[in-house]
Amino acid sequence: MMNTKIVTIKGQGDVFSETEEQTLREAGEILRGGGLVAFPTETVYGLGGDALNPASARKIYAAKGRPSDNPLIVHIARLEDMEDVAGQVPEAARRLGRAFWPGPLTMVLPRAEKVPKETTGGLETVAVRMPSHPVARRLIACGGGYIAAPSANLSGRPSPTSARYVIEDMAGRIDMIIDGGDGEIGLESTIVDLTVDPPQILRPGYITREMLSQVLGEVSLDQTILTADSGQAPRAPGMKYRHYAPRGEMTIVSGQVAEVVGYINAQAARERAQGHKVGVIGTDESLPEYQADLVCSLGSRQDEESIARHLYGILRRFDDEQVTRIYSECFDTMGLGQAIMNRLLKAAGHRVVTPVGNRERQSPDI
Ligand code: TXA
Ligand code: MG
């Protein structure tokens, strides 16, 4: 166990107090010296190390308990630094950078020599992202400009949307944790691969396919994003792991609200009688209808951003309370809904049922 320093940095927009500046410089020194610092971003917390130092990448894999063939995202603080870590930058990447950076978008580009293979998991491509969170941007600059950062969770747990979850998973394993408040978005960045034509979304996120298409024209979608058995491996190596899985067995229930509520309540009654602890992931509109051990709302159906922001916290809560069966409502797959359903389907191992009358139909693909 190592001693993990835990600090809080609030800032006012991108202005920091003298003490906060000093702490950020100290964190930057840790990164430059090959140490690890967890920090807030607008999506989820990142576990940062120097992206150009192979030893830092190895430490990141060890701290997360993550396989080292799973490449890391290189975080930058200035648009022009993309040209440094990418071997070659297509015009489409510059256009996307101008449209969406700083922000929750990651681009896969050919790797430049200076990025070690330890950081890219042995790949000849590199994932690059310029986050918008002021603490993240200042820390990247203080740490040398190129920070490799996966989500700051232990492998197999949901990404941390709050410093308290980072402390749960990483205290004793890294040098410093910076608490900068809760993630605004709550789901990891959109990943788009620009080394293929047309560009392809490898992981859906806040920047939607519709938004990317406005800048790029045609954009394709990795077929494994919403389908259980396309017979293909996902192209982002990390997407093949059962990443977002809660400990309880989870089922998504699709269909008309009344039937969904009826089905979940019947299942919950039956399973509680068998000794299970049953949790339900619902929405503000349906919450009062459910009877189970733990009923949580993601927010209003009218507010997809709230649903994205609350999902991982609720999955963690179900783990903490040792829920053994989880039922979740289903969501549309348009816009941000695509990212929400992608994470829900992964958490549920693609187990989806559609109740029809008093029967049910297995519907593995959304
Ligand atoms: O929002 C985010 O992106 C957060 C914050 C901290 O920035 N980071 C994050 O990192 O989610 P991580 O390591 O948990 O997820 C990175 C994903 C993995 O699925 C990985 O396989 C994929 O990006 N990836 C990284 N480099 C890649 C590459 N060169 N080609 C294809 N996929 C890549
Ligand atoms: Mg992750």
**pLDDT average, residue stretch 283-296:** 97
Write out 127-177 in H/E/C secondary structure.
EEECCCCHHHHHHHHHCCCCEECCECCCCCCCCCCCHHHHHHHHCCCCCEE
Tell how far the Cα of 25 is from the centroid of ligand 2, in angstroms.
Answer: 26
- The answer to whether the beta carbons of residues 311 and 343 sit under 8 Å apart is yes
- pLDDT of 46 above 60: yes
Tell how far the Cα of 291 is from the centroid of ligand 2, in angstroms.
Answer: 33
Q: Give residue 206's pLDDT band: very low, low, confident or very high (50, 70, 90).
A: very high
What type of residue sits at position 101?
Answer: W
3-class secondary structure, 12: strand
**pLDDT average, residue stretch 339-346:** 95
For 53, residues 6+ apart whose C-beta sits below 8 A from its C-beta are: 34, 116
- The answer to whether the beta carbons of residues 327 and 281 sit under 8 Å apart is yes
What type of residue sits at position 322?
Answer: Q
Q: Is the pTM of this model over 0.85?
A: yes
Cα–chain center distance at 175:
22
Which class for 233: exposed (0-12), middle (13-18), buried (19 or more C-beta within 10 A)? exposed
DSSP string, 19-78: HHHHHHHHHHHHHHTT--EEE--SSS-EEEEETT-HHHHHHHHHHHT--TTSPPEEE-SS
pLDDT digits (tens, 9 = 90+) for 124-179: 999 999 999 999 999 999 999 999 999 999 988 899 999 999 999 999 999 999 99
pLDDT digits (tens, 9 = 90+) for 220-260: 999 888 787 556 677 777 666 555 678 999 999 999 999 99
Residue 149, ligand 1, Cβ within 6 A = yes
Residue 41, ligand 1, Cβ within 6 A = yes
Tell how far the Cα of 62 is from the centroid of ligand 2, in angstroms.
Answer: 14
Question: pLDDT averaged over the chain?
Answer: 94
- pLDDT of 326 above 80: yes
Residue 222, ligand 1, Cβ within 6 A = no
Residue 241: predicted pLDDT? 56
- The answer to whether the beta carbons of residues 335 and 304 sit under 8 Å apart is yes
Query: Which residue is closest in CA terms to ligand 1's atom 3?
Result: 189
Residue 255, ligand 1, Cβ within 6 A = no
d(CA 13, CA 235): 36
**pLDDT average, residue stretch 12-18:** 94
Angle between helices 91-100 and 209-216 in degrees, nearest 10 = 130
